[in-house]
Amino acid sequence: MDSVISVKDLMKIYIMGTTQVKALQGVTLDIARNEYVALMGPSGSGKSTLMNLLGCLDSPSSGEYWLNGTNVSTMTDSDLAEVRNKEIGFVFQTFNLLPRLSALENVALPLVYAGMSRSQRNERAQEVLDSVGLGDRVDHKPNELSGGQRQRVAIARALVNRPSIILADEPTGNLDTKTSVEIMGIFEEIHKQGNTVILVTHEPDIAEHAHRIIRLRDGLVEVDERNENVVSAYDPSHRYHNK
């Protein structure tokens, strides 16, 4: 198996005063390139901690995390930031868009750190906004867009660096049912185009879009299973193109 992610005995312990909280208690798993995985679990299960570690937003207390063949578990914060910018595209429930920037500027922002010229940044940002159906909204600011449109901008920003992994944390949490289905259709297309997609959700109907479901409880993997009944939100009238 060509693993893009491989973690072994991953532990994360938080010190709360005189108390140790074991958020992860030795998680071991592999995620193959181009898998579509949902991480699930109740509050306190460790799924958010695991997401932060997989996204290189935090470092484990012990254990190993290999990302694309590189051991990132012992990296410094600055090295982790570089890995994040190159390898991982994030999509959050709250969109995390900068309110004073246009859709185009929000999407182009990660490319500033990649050292691209303004014209190259804008060209690439326009390309990915076109791909998620927002090519005609590039000059709009977040407050001029609907929730679904803002999430599309966030997805475009996640894709702009051509990352190997898309990490989506409750991406439909602030959206109505119809818009949620549309957004899940975009993730399905992203997966079809070759990206590894990791979806963090507490909603079973959203998790059913993934091909593999990993359930955590008390900092451990409780269930890791193939999803034989994948729900499709594919809409042939909208195609995502990863150019």
pLDDT on residue 235: 60
Residue 203 falls inside a structural domain: yes
Q: Say how many domains are in the chain.
A: 1
CA–CA distance, 187 with 9 (Å, rounded to integer): 30
Residue 177 falls inside a structural domain: yes
pLDDT on residue 7: 95
CA–CA distance, 128 with 110 (Å, rounded to integer): 13
Phi, psi of 180 (to 5 degrees): -60, -45
pLDDT-based confidence at 243, cuts 50/70/90?
very low
Q: What is the residue type of 157?
A: R
pLDDT on residue 56: 93
Give Cα separations from 28 to 65, 214, 220 (angstroms): 9, 11, 9
Residue 176 falls inside a structural domain: yes
Tokens found for residue 149: 């449109």
Residue 83 falls inside a structural domain: yes
Please determine, for residue 237, whether its predicted confidence score (pLDDT) is greater than 70.
no
CA–CA distance, 94 with 117 (Å, rounded to integer): 29
pLDDT in tens, 183-200: 999 999 999 999 999 999
Q: What is the residue type of 162?
A: R
Find the CATH number of the domain harbouring 186. 3.40.50.300
- SS3 state of residue 127: helix
Domain that holds residue 111: 34-61+76-226
The DSSP secondary structure of 134-148, one letter per residue, reads -TT-TT--GGGS-HH
pLDDT-based confidence at 241, cuts 50/70/90?
very low
Instruction: Tell me which residue of 50, 151, 138, 53 sits closest to 96, measured CA to CA.
Output: 151
Contacts 24+ apart (CB under 8 A), 53-58: 53/7, 53/10, 53/12, 53/24, 54/5, 54/7, 54/165, 54/167, 54/198, 55/84, 55/88, 55/90, 55/167, 56/80, 56/81, 56/83, 56/84, 56/87, 56/88, 57/84, 58/12
pTM: 0.90
Give Cα separations from 236 to 129, 173, 175, 188, 240 (angstroms): 18, 24, 22, 12, 10
pLDDT in tens, 56-98: 999 999 999 999 999 999 899 899 988 988 899 999 888 899 9
CB atoms within 10 A of CB 112: 12
pLDDT on residue 27: 95
Residue 212 falls inside a structural domain: yes
pLDDT on residue 234: 58
pLDDT on residue 86: 87
Residue 112 falls inside a structural domain: yes
- CB-based contact 150:181 (threshold 8 Å): no
CA–CA distance, 152 with 134 (Å, rounded to integer): 7
Instruction: Tell me which residue of 6, 176, 163, 4 sits closest to 90, measured CA to CA.
Output: 163
Residue 131 falls inside a structural domain: yes
